[in-house]
């Protein structure tokens, strides 16, 4: 599934999804903490200079009646982003690559990495 595509709900634009991603990347939190970040970003126009009015035009509304819909949208976007990050991180650094990197590291770094590795 392409996470850049529109959410299943009508009236939600790609820009709305990007706004949620923008806020989530600023503050990696779930609902309701992310709601606070979204309000902060909207009140200061930190996303393309958009305030509450512009975001409402793209399907992001902050009123009490819209909370369930917004929470659902946030949950979907955060889930997609987390899933994508998980796929990217798999196999990023194999055990062989890690040991080779340690061999090339300065002595202080090797001692720290060995100590950290021993704590596992």
pLDDT, one tens digit per residue, over 64-85 is 999 999 999 998 888 887 666 6
Look at residue 115 in the predicted model and tell me its pLDDT. 46
75 vs 23: CA distance, rounded Å = 13
Residue ranges covered by each domain of the chain: 14-89, 94-120
Q: Does this model's pTM top 0.75?
A: no
Look at residue 100 in the predicted model and tell me its pLDDT. 59
Closest CA to 55 of 75, 35, 84: 35
- CA atoms within a 13 Å half-sphere pointing along the CA-CB vector of 49: 0
């Amino acid at each position: 599934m392409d996470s850049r595509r529109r959410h299943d709900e009508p009236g939600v634009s790609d820009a709305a999804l990007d706004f949620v991603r923008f806020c989530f990347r600023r503050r990696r939190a779930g609902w309701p903490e992310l709601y606070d970040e979204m309000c902060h970003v909207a009140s200061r126009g930190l996303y393309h200079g958009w305030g509450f009015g512009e975001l409402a035009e793209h399907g992001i509304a902050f009123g009490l009646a819209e909370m369930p819909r917004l929470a659902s949208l946030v949950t979907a976007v955060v889930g997609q982003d987390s899933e994508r990050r998980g796929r990217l991180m798999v196999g990023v650094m194999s055990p062989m690559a890690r040991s080779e990197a340690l061999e090339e590291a300065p002595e202080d770094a090797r001692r720290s990495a060995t100590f950290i590795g021993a704590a596992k």
